[in-house]
Amino acid sequence: MAETTRPAEAGAIPAASQSDQLREFVSFLVERHVLSAGDVKRILQIQARMDRRFGTLAVLKSFVSPHDVIFILYQQTESGEKLGELAIKTGLMTREQVKEVLLLQSDAPRLFAEILVRTRTVSASNLRKIMRDFYEKRGCSGWSGPGRPAGNADFAFPDQPVRMSADKLKIHLRHLKDLATLPGVVHRVLGLLQNPHVEMSEVAQVIEGDPSLSVRLLRLANSAFFALVTKVSTVQKALITLGVNNVRKTIITASVLEKFKGIDQQEAAEYWRHSLLTSRWTKHLLEMQNQRGEALEDGAMAGLLHDTGRLAVWQFFADANAEIRRMVAGGASAEQAEREVLSMSHAEIGGFLFQIWNFPASLLQAACYHHSSAETLGSLKDALPIASVVNAACRISRLPVVSGEDGSKTLDVSSLEPEFVMFHKLDADALVRSAPAVIREANTMLSSFVTQTATT
Ligand SMILES: [Fe+2]
């Protein structure tokens, strides 16, 4: 396996000096009675046998799965780029994670410490403290290899080994009874609607087998939005009134709500506020791009459901969720923590679920790419217009809300990075002007939405 990202690229320190440093670190641990002579021998043996290639260490840190490494290596044979660069480009690793792996390659004490945690010889919290003391005592003198963390750098050892690999998580997601399958009716209707020449009477017959779905469609067809003179009383008429796309959207949204009806009210409110805001911003940004009709509705739905992976983590992986929160409270980024604990980010989990549910590609892409950097989205921006707009809308929805000159709620756009604004071709002043109406719209929808989720 050819790997081009070698310790030297991280500005590694010479091997001789590394072994001095390791010796010094080990003596420090023994002096403090952290390790016995037997422990030292055992860990050194493991370290000597260890494969220190980039891919192996990235898997050890649980930043990627072995499957991901094969994917990056395959990409490398095509492009000849460095593994670290490819891992960032393909969105499999963050720049911080690549840096962490390169440090592990070039820093013998750090790798020794990593093995101590992985073999549960020393707890992660204890070791973090010891490492800080050690580097402090050394004052970093003699430890000045490039990439060396300064002074009180945080040592990111997890408190326990990762519980789930990405492959294992996918197997879980596929087999979680309440999560993996859509109700039979929904599945059949989505399948039928893929055929543009399908007879509405056939679709109606299937939908009538599910009373709650039938009521939902009748309610929508009779809503003020369609302003019909004559009320619609049959499912078939409702289908004709709504049209294929509206039916598809209604049942997709309904089935996602159905999956996650049990979540905590407060969490639900926070979640749907962000989702509705992202939905409204997506629609608004598409309007600003002069998009009309179907595209706006597709975008609104992609925005509404973009964070479904987060719901799945909350509801089905409560322990993992608690650990992720603890790590985030300790300063880790949400993505870092999710990868550490579950091996996949909530964006990837959402995309994976949409894939097994057979949802349209625009929804899947929006879920997968909603936290991707401009660098990752790159040339995909034009190929995935809805995903790209949802990416921007999600970020805008997280901006602080402030009171405008007339007292209405608007946005503080000062924290938007200029590169982000440029990449998405945004007009920050126009965002501030549009914000009161967009926020108002999302708030109006929120109360009914939360009640609906809790009672569906
Ligand atoms: Fe998200």
- What are 172's two structure tokens? 């879980």
369 CA distance to ligand 1 middle (Å): 9
282 CA distance to ligand 1 middle (Å): 14
345 CA distance to ligand 1 middle (Å): 9
302 CA distance to ligand 1 middle (Å): 12
134 CA distance to ligand 1 middle (Å): 37
279 CA distance to ligand 1 middle (Å): 13
- Which pLDDT band holds residue 388 (cuts at 50, 70, 90)? very high
Q: How far is 183 from 206, CA to CA, in rounded Å?
A: 12
219 CA distance to ligand 1 middle (Å): 31
Q: How far is 90 from 377, CA to CA, in rounded Å?
A: 9
Helix, strand and coil percent figures for the chain, each rounded to 5: 70, 0, 30
Is the pLDDT score of 85 beyond 70?
yes
Is the pLDDT score of 142 beyond 70?
no
Is the pLDDT score of 370 beyond 90?
yes
Give the pLDDT of residue 455: 47
Is the pLDDT score of 378 beyond 60?
yes
Burial class, 86, CB count within 10 angstroms (exposed 0-12 / middle 13-18 / buried 19+)? buried
307 CA distance to ligand 1 middle (Å): 5
366 CA distance to ligand 1 middle (Å): 10
Give the pLDDT of residue 2: 40
456 CA distance to ligand 1 middle (Å): 23
Q: Which residues pair with 411 in a beta bridge?
A: 401
* Contact between 364 and 351 (Cβ < 8 Å): yes
Percent of the chain with pLDDT over 90: 15
Is the pLDDT score of 255 beyond 70?
yes
Is the pLDDT score of 177 beyond 80?
no
198 CA distance to ligand 1 middle (Å): 35
CA distances (Å), origin 218, targets 121, 192, 342, 389, 442: 62, 19, 41, 31, 24
Give the mean pLDDT of 323-334. 90
Is the pLDDT score of 117 beyond 50?
yes
342 CA distance to ligand 1 middle (Å): 15
Interacting residues of 418 by C-beta distance below 8 A, sequence separation 6+? none
Cα three-residue angle 61-63-64, rounded to 5 degrees: 115
Beta strand pairing call for 409-411 and 401-403 = antiparallel
346 CA distance to ligand 1 middle (Å): 7
Give the mean pLDDT of 412-433. 90
306 CA distance to ligand 1 middle (Å): 7
- Which pLDDT band holds residue 345 (cuts at 50, 70, 90)? very high
Pick the closest to residue 357 from 312, 324, 413 (CA basis).
312
Give the pLDDT of residue 153: 38
pTM for the model: 0.58
Give the mean pLDDT of 34-59. 85
* Contact between 124 and 159 (Cβ < 8 Å): yes
263 CA distance to ligand 1 middle (Å): 17
Buried b or exposed e, range 328-367, using 16+ CB within 10 angstroms = eeeebeebbbbbbbbbbbbbbbbbbbbeebebbebbbbbb
pLDDT digits (tens, 9 = 90+) for 179-235: 766 777 888 888 888 887 888 889 998 888 887 788 878 887 777 666 666 777 888
339 CA distance to ligand 1 middle (Å): 14
| Residue carrying structure tokens 């002069």 | 290
- Which pLDDT band holds residue 3 (cuts at 50, 70, 90)? very low
103 CA distance to ligand 1 middle (Å): 29
Give the mean pLDDT of 395-405. 87
Pairs from 128-136 (Cβ < 8 Å, separation ≥ 24)? 128/154, 128/155, 128/157, 130/28, 130/29, 130/32, 130/34, 131/155, 134/25, 134/28, 134/109
Burial class, 19, CB count within 10 angstroms (exposed 0-12 / middle 13-18 / buried 19+)? exposed
What is the torsional sign of CA 267, 354, 387, 360? negative
310 CA distance to ligand 1 middle (Å): 7
430 CA distance to ligand 1 middle (Å): 24
Give the pLDDT of residue 122: 83
* Three-state secondary structure call for residue 224: coil
Is the pLDDT score of 169 beyond 60?
yes
Q: Which residue has the higher pLDDT, 318 or 66?
A: 318
Give the pLDDT of residue 14: 54
Give the pLDDT of residue 383: 80
- Which pLDDT band holds residue 152 (cuts at 50, 70, 90)? very low
Pick the closest to residue 372 from 67, 62, 76, 90 (CA basis).
90
212 CA distance to ligand 1 middle (Å): 30
- DSSP readout, 129-142? HHHHHHHHHHTTTT
- Which pLDDT band holds residue 150 (cuts at 50, 70, 90)? very low
* Contact between 43 and 121 (Cβ < 8 Å): yes
Environment of ion ligand 1 (residues, CB < 5 A): 307
Give the pLDDT of residue 15: 54
70 CA distance to ligand 1 middle (Å): 27
351 CA distance to ligand 1 middle (Å): 11
Backbone angles phi, psi at 402, to 5 degrees: -130, 170
* Contact between 25 and 112 (Cβ < 8 Å): yes
Buried b or exposed e, range 298-311, using 16+ CB within 10 angstroms = bbbbbbbbbbbbbb
372 CA distance to ligand 1 middle (Å): 10
250 CA distance to ligand 1 middle (Å): 22
Domain formed by 262-455, architecture: Orthogonal Bundle (1.10)
Rg for the chain (alpha carbons), in Å? 26
pLDDT digits (tens, 9 = 90+) for 259-303: 777 667 777 778 888 999 999 999 999 999 988 877 888 898 899
Q: Which residue has the higher pLDDT, 15 or 420?
A: 420
308 CA distance to ligand 1 middle (Å): 8
373 CA distance to ligand 1 middle (Å): 13
Write down the domain spans for the chain. 7-161, 182-259, 262-455
